Structure 1
Amino acid sequence: MCAKFNRAGTRPSGQSPITGEHTPSGRTHEGAPGFARDTKSELFLLAVANMVGENTFYESAGERDGRFRNLVHQIAVTDPEWLTGMIGWLRNEANMRTASVVAALEGAKARVDAGAHGHSRQMVDTALRRADEPGEALAYWTSRYGRRLPKPVKRGIADAAARLYDERSMLKYDTATKGYRFSDVLNLVHASPAADRPWQEALFVHAHERRHDRGTVPDPDVLPVLARNAVFAERVESDPGVLLAPEELKAAGLTWESALSLAGGRMDKARLWEALIPSMGYMALLRNLRNFDRAGVSDEVAERVTARLSDPEQVARSRQLPMRFLSAYRAAPSLRWGHALEKALKASLGNVPELGGRTLVLVDRSGSMQGRLSARSDLNRADAAAIFGSALAMRCAGADLVEFGTGSAPVALERGDSLLRVIERFQWMGGTDTTRAVREHFRGHDRVVIVTDEQAHHSRDGGPTEQVPESVPVYTWNLAGYRYGHGPSGVGGRYTFGGLGDAAFRMIPLLERGRDARWPWEGRP
């Protein structure tokens, strides 16, 4: 009699945190059997892909945001520790700024309404990591729930203001374009200066002076950057050349936007950019490569920019989503940035594992993946899928990289290929016949990875994960966070991950070693 379980190739199976039903209870948006997830799993998959206030191919912004709020409200009451951990990870690791702010405020709202104590203040403070975000939080809350602020919300925002407000952040973010200025935030939440920041009391006073355009120059001994900035425009009038002095620009806390505005048409743009570049942040450099080229910035200065862009430590600190580097590559007219952006993109994908054996990587290129990630982005979910799928395939010992839609086709992959060039080889492929793609390309691989929005078409041959023997793990990378997925998840070699960053990739080696994978913010087993 043949053994049923103790066979060559049998491997231990781990359990992933994203779990759901094993029998489908619904339908995908394209009519295939749809597998629901438990509440935490559904929220996580939605949170890591949700830009908030943005329509997707299958859900309107209102439907999507309503589902997000409802899920947050449920978990905020039943497991606030889990939600607080997710919010912190979502903001700091997944770099989902708006989704984390909304989750924190809606979580606090749910707990206040339920009469629950604790956690809300921490949720709010954890979500706010940039000096413009206390104002963002107030704008969101008051637009939905009015000007009455519950104490936990007020204290969480006040904690963040005391932690984030300083001279340079005031110059960068406290502008007339904002509905809630620093002064408004301070007045509404009654923030107190931090005990270890003796200069902050003067800063808060100056915030009110700025709000009312009183033109007061701060004490240079207490607030030297603001004091220099207050008179910088007058200096430019008498000596425009001061705009070409990098140290003067930095000492006055001048943003690149302000410097360009002050310069008007009086300065040579190449020389002005070259003066600004030393004090520009990583994101500002990344977004201005086209402007550097148009102005004619010298190759010597460009080399300094590329050194910063490709530095793995600076890439890590910048917390840029991988798609940002593809966007910069497409926008920059000059080839001199290409190698640095290639290195930066690969550095941003540091969690993509090197997998042994043979791997089938399927990348969804269907119509529903064409929708832009946000109204301000020129990238879409198909771009993200191409990045993740290609990066994984290039690190595998042996990989077959396939794009699919209504049909499917291999994507050429050669040793020494540029990741950015590989991404450009993908095409649009129509519908979402995931099952057919798996059936046509699975040839005894050691694992299958499907990067998709999971909205598969119905197939008489069954679901996509059913086309692979149970002994072969199937990993679904979900890029959209819709309610129903194309297969089960959690155990039995069927796993779902999600997100627009690479963090969850580190779960794959754990699961293949038969070790359970925890939520990313809970540490590694």
Structure 2
Amino acid sequence: MRFNFTFRKNKPAQVINHEGAQAFQLTPALELYAAVATAALNDQFYENAGTRLQRLRELVAQNDPRFVAQMAVYARERLYLRSVPLVLAVELAQVHRGDDLVSRMVARVVQRADEITELLAFYALANQRQGPKTLNRLSKQLQKGLALAFNRFDGYQLAKYDRAGQVRLRDALFLVHPTAKSTEQQALFDQLVRGELPTPYTWETELSALGQESFATAEERQAAFRSKWEELIASGKLGYMALLRNLRNILEAEVSAAAMEQVCTSLSDRFAVARSKQLPFRYLAAYRELLQVRSGHVPRVLEALETAIGHSIQNLRGFEANTRVVVACDVSGSMQQPVSARSKVQLYDVGLVLGMLLQSRCANVVAGMFGDRWKRIALPRNQVLSNVQEFYRREGEVGYSTNGHLVVRELRQQREVVDKVMLFTDCQLWDSHNHGATLAQEWAEYRRSVAPQARLYLFDLAGHGNTPVEVRHNDGVALIAGWSDKVFDVLQALENGGSALSEIEQIEL
């Protein structure tokens, strides 16, 4: 991404949320976790990107440096986020010196060659500098970490990500002065400096070259692209993300049945899913795209996508047949915001995907959605993506406010005992009926009068820094944040007696 924001001072912390309702401020560590795990660094309903960046800067200064470094590595390696770990690296370098913590963190979070230039671009922005020549006073620890990162990339990776921008890889090479591991690597560095790295073989370059050719007829062009897609599929050089993003193109090229079978086999392969590190909502985006395609292969591909997303979460401890679970998804207006500027997927969708993934792994579960009202919806457990579509079709049935307290109120009034209540929300809950009701009050009364052992899990999908219930273990309340299937690793840690932060604090540096 391109960092294109200005920093400004935040107002003092408050204990009311963006809807003006009572809320509870998170501790600095929990707030950093929630802000990072939900960061797309794009405008959200309640908070724009510049405000989020400023808040991250302040939270870095408020937290222990080692925890910040662990958070950055956790975000990159467990949550599969790219830009926000680079922000944390730059901000930590501003406030922490005296050891090699920053360089070790940078070497871990920079996993693609273009992340070197992305980090430097943000460093220039954060220090109000322009262009590569103004980076000559780069933090020594950032410099050392980037030099270590340079040593990991081969000629293919350097060529693939040597793109035009505010900072080029060539500029970065001159700036950080990595020591080549071998004469072969030094030759690659020299080629990079001279602009002589060979153009890498990628599906993009192959299709781009084909697109430049002239064809006598539309049928000839269609045949050429069909042949090229079949070649790419057979070669095994079409990565998992590329496959996921090009399903519509492949189907519209009318590739052979054998090629489509190979596509479906690759999509649904358990190990390929694990290696690809896709965020769950990527499968939903692909699923929705295919619903518009006229092809007899679409049902088979939809089935493969259902299988793939099912692989992303396995058995969870503490969700046996006798464990009663409520999964409640926020479908309010503030949740209907895209997760990034270029995405068609909304926070609303992320909550539904994660909620339906959780439902698919629970043996005794009630699922539903809340807005003005709370409504239970019974759907098959093993159809995650089609269930999301069904929720999406019916979301207007409950309105667009954020009355999350009604989920627990119904349980209390019906004296229905459950073990776990899971709310997937942006945490900006309020009582649109102006009766002063709150989730905190309802939860305390439910625990007191109906189910003393029940636990409430808030899945925070926005990271605004406050919650409708105080996050306290003794009150049976826990916070889990993020968009990845890895939120369920945190859920597992909670079942094992840990916390959201314990997963992060176990990261070794």
Identify the TM-score tier after normalising by the shorter chain.
Answer: 0.7 to 0.9
Name the residue aligned to 1:335. 299
Distance, in Å, in 1 between the alignment partners of 2:299 and 2:273 is 20
How far the C-alpha of 1:352 sits from its partner, in A, is: 5.1
Match of 1:203 among 178, 188, 210: 188
C-alpha distance in structure 2 between counterparts of 1:45 and 1:296, whole Å? 44
- Which position in structure 2 is the counterpart of 1:407? 373
Q: 1:200 Cα shift?
A: 0.6
Alpha-carbon contact 1:489-1:496 (below 8 Å) kept: yes
Q: Which residue is 1:300 aligned to?
A: 258
Q: Report the equivalent of 1:480.
A: 462
TM-score (norm 2): 0.84
**Bigger shift: residues 264-273 or 477-486:** 264-273
Deviation, structure 1 residue 269: 0.6
Asked if the contact 1:270–1:297 (Cα under 8 Å) also holds between the matched residues in 2, the reply is yes
Q: Deviations over 1:478-524 (max 9, x none)?
A: 11101211101131111111111122323445544656675224449
Encode CA deviations 1:107-142: one digit per residue, 9 max, x unaligned: 111225xxx443121222222111111011111111
Contact 1:125-1:160 within 8 A present in 2 as well: yes
Q: Distance in 1 between matches of 2:287 and 2:499?
A: 38
**Pair 1:318 & 2:290 matched:** no
Q: 2:483 aligns with which of 480, 488, 500?
A: 500
Amino acid at match of 2:503: P
Q: Which residue of 2 aligns with 1:395?
A: 361
1:156 matched residue in structure 2:
145
Distance in structure 1 (CA, Å) of the matches to 2:493 and 2:159: 45
* Equivalent pair of 2:318/2:495 in contact (CA under 8 Å): no
Quickly say closer, same or farther: Cα 1:126–1:490, change in 2 above 3 A: farther
Partner of 1:89: 74
1:95-114 mapped onto 2 (5 Å cutoff): 95-112=80-97
Return 299-308 or 509-518, whichever deviates more: 509-518
Q: Does 1:273 align with 2:229?
A: yes
Q: Structure 1 residues 497, 300: CA separation in 2 closer, same or farther (over 3 Å shift)? A: same
Alpha-carbon distance between aligned partners in 1 of 2:250 and 2:378, rounded to the nearest angstrom:
33
Contact kept? 2:480, 2:491, Cα under 8 Å: no
1:468 correspondence with 2:441: no
SS at match of 1:343: helix
1:258 corresponds in structure 2 to 205
2:329, 2:25 → 1: CA distance? 22
Distance (Å, rounded) in 1 between the aligned partners of 2:384 and 2:253: 28
**What CA RMSD, in Å, does the superposition of the two structures yield over aligned residues?**
2.1
AA at the equivalent of 2:425: T
- Structure 1 residues 218-258: Cα deviation after superposition (integer angstroms, max 9, x where no partner): 7xxxxxxx3xx5xxxxxxxxxxxxxxxxxxxxxxx411111
Q: Which amino acid aligns with 1:149?
A: L
Report how far residue 371 of structure 1 moved. 0.6
CA displacement at 1:419 relative to structure 2: 1.2
> Distance in 2 between the 1:317 and 1:457 partners?
40
Alpha-carbon distance in structure 2 between the residues aligned to 1:137 and 1:39: 24
Query: 296-305 or 141-150, which moves further after superposition?
Result: 141-150
Distance 1:517 1:59 in 2: 23
Q: Give the gaps of 5 or more residues in structure 2.
A: 1-12, 130-134, 215-220
Q: CA deviation at 1:283?
A: 0.9
Which letter maps to 2:168?
A: R
Task: Name the structure 1 match of 2:7.
Answer: none
Distance 1:315 1:509, change over 3 A: closer
Partner residue in 1 for 2:166: 179
SS at match of 1:40: helix
- Which SS does the other structure have where 2:107 is aligned? helix
Between the two proteins, the alignment pairs up a number of residues equal to 451
Aligned twin of 1:19:
none
State the partner residue of 1:193. 180
**Conserved in 2, the CA contact under 8 Å of 1:401 and 1:410?**
yes
- Within 1, Cα distance between the matches of 2:125 and 2:154? 27
The reply to whether residue 170 of structure 1 matches residue 155 of structure 2 is no
TM-score normalised to the size of structure 1? 0.81
Aligned-partner SS, 1:390:
helix
Q: How many Å separate the matches in 2 of 1:70 and 1:254?
A: 43
2:328 corresponds to which of 359, 362, 373: 362
Preserved CA contact (<8 Å) 1:351 1:502: no
Judge conservation of contact 2:411–2:417 (CA < 8 Å) in 1.
no
Task: Provide closer, same or farther for how the CA distance between residues 368 and 108 of structure 1 changes in structure 2, counting only shifts above 3 A.
Answer: same
Letter in 1 for 2:209: L
